Copies of this chain bind each other. A is one copy, B any other.
Amino acid sequence: MAVFLSSFVNKVDKKGRVSVPASFRAVLGSDAQGIVVFRSLQQEALDGCSIAHLELLSESLEKLDLAPEMFELIETTIFGGSVQIPFDGEGRIVLPSSLAQTIGITDEVAFVGRRKTFQLWNPQKLTEHDTSARSAARAQDISLSKIIAQASSKIEGGA
C-alpha cells in the first residue's frame, strides 16, 4: 500500500500557505479533506497524518491498558494539541502560526515521509538531526541487510 516516502522543502508564502507535496496528497487519497498536525513527542517537529490515522490512534488508546499518566499525556497533548487543517483547491495548507513557531518554521517547511505518518520540520533543524543520526549509524555500524536477515531468521526460529 502507499506510504509516505521522501522529503520535500516547500515555501511558506505571505499568507502562510504551503503546498503539501503532491505524492503525500496522493497517499492521503483524492477524497482527503486535509491533514491532522500535532507537536511531536520526541522531536522538535510536527507530526502529520491522515484523519483516519488519528482515529486509529484513538481506537488503539481504548483497546490498550495504558498507565493512567500515559493515557492522560496522550489525551491532552496529542488530541488536545492537534489541529485538523483543510487543503485548499491547490493542495495547500495554512499552518497555524502557533504550531509553526514552536518548531521554528518561518519561510520554509520540510515534509519528511515516515511511511504511515509524516513530519514537518524547520529545514535547517532537519539537516542537523539527519547529520547526527548518520553519525550515530556509522558509529554503530548499522546494516540494513543485517536487519532484514535478522527479521527472516526470527521467523524461521519460531520466535
A25 shortest CB reach to chain B, Å: 15
CB closest residue in chain B, given A145: B116
Interface assignment of A112: CB less than 8 Å from any CB of chain B: yes
CB distance from A9 to the nearest CB of B (A): 9
Complex: A36 Cα to B5 Cα, angstroms: 10
Q: How far is the CB of A55 from chain B (nearest CB, A)?
A: 9
This chain: copies in complex: 2
Q: A6-B82, A82-B6 are in contact. Are A115 and B60 (CB under 8 A)?
A: no
Question: Interface size for chain A: under 10, 10 to 19, 20 to 34, or 35 or more residues?
Answer: 35 or more
Query: Which residues of chain B have C-beta atoms less than 8 A from A63's C-beta?
Result: 151, 154-155
Q: Does A106 contact B (CB under 8 A)?
A: no
Q: Which residues of B contact A66 (CB under 8 A)?
A: 147
Q: Contacts A57-B148, A81-B130, A83-B6; is A41 near B138 (CB within 8 Å)?
A: yes
Please provide the chain A residues from 73 to 89 with a CB less than 8 Å away from any CB of chain B in the complex. 73-84
